[in-house]
Amino acid sequence: GAVVSQHPSRVICKSGTSVKIECRSLDFQATTMFWYRQFPKQSLMLMATSNEGSKATYEQGVEKDKFLINHASLTLSTLTVTSAHPEDSSFYICSARTLAGSDEQFFGPGTRLTVL
């Protein structure tokens, strides 16, 4: 099956720093990648939809200047949390949709961000 990786799997940083999370589709090309956030005991909430070569589409309430998304290739999308604060601590998960065939989304293993 299709494999999506995320790096890092866990990051702890100080308040005010920026953190970059990478999402890669390892064995397929993904025209679209999605970024989700999940707080403890809550559901996944879509943050933005990232299309290769174009600007990301952000969901209502998600600050595009704070959560910078870059989708420079068909296998890589990055999410940068700028000037992170403790309330940004969460589980960030990406998913990728294949270029052709099934419309299924394949999820990465997630990145746990803790901002001190």
Residues near another protein (CB under 8 A) are: 32, 34, 41-46, 49, 91, 93, 97, 103-105, 107-110, 112
For the CB of residue 16, give the shortest distance to another protein in the complex, in Å.
Answer: 26
Q: Give every CB contact of residue 25 below 8 A, 6+ residues apart in sequence.
A: 2, 3, 4, 33, 74, 75, 76, 96, 106
Q: What is the pairing mode between strands 105-107 and 57-58? A: unpaired
49/70 with CB nearer another protein:
49
For the CB of residue 93, give the shortest distance to another protein in the complex, in Å.
Answer: 5
Q: If you count DSSP H runs as helices and E runs as strands, how many of each does the chain have, helices first?
A: 0, 11
Tokens linked to 104: 């299924």
108/115 with CB nearer another protein:
108
82/105 with CB nearer another protein:
105
For the CB of residue 116, give the shortest distance to another protein in the complex, in Å.
Answer: 19
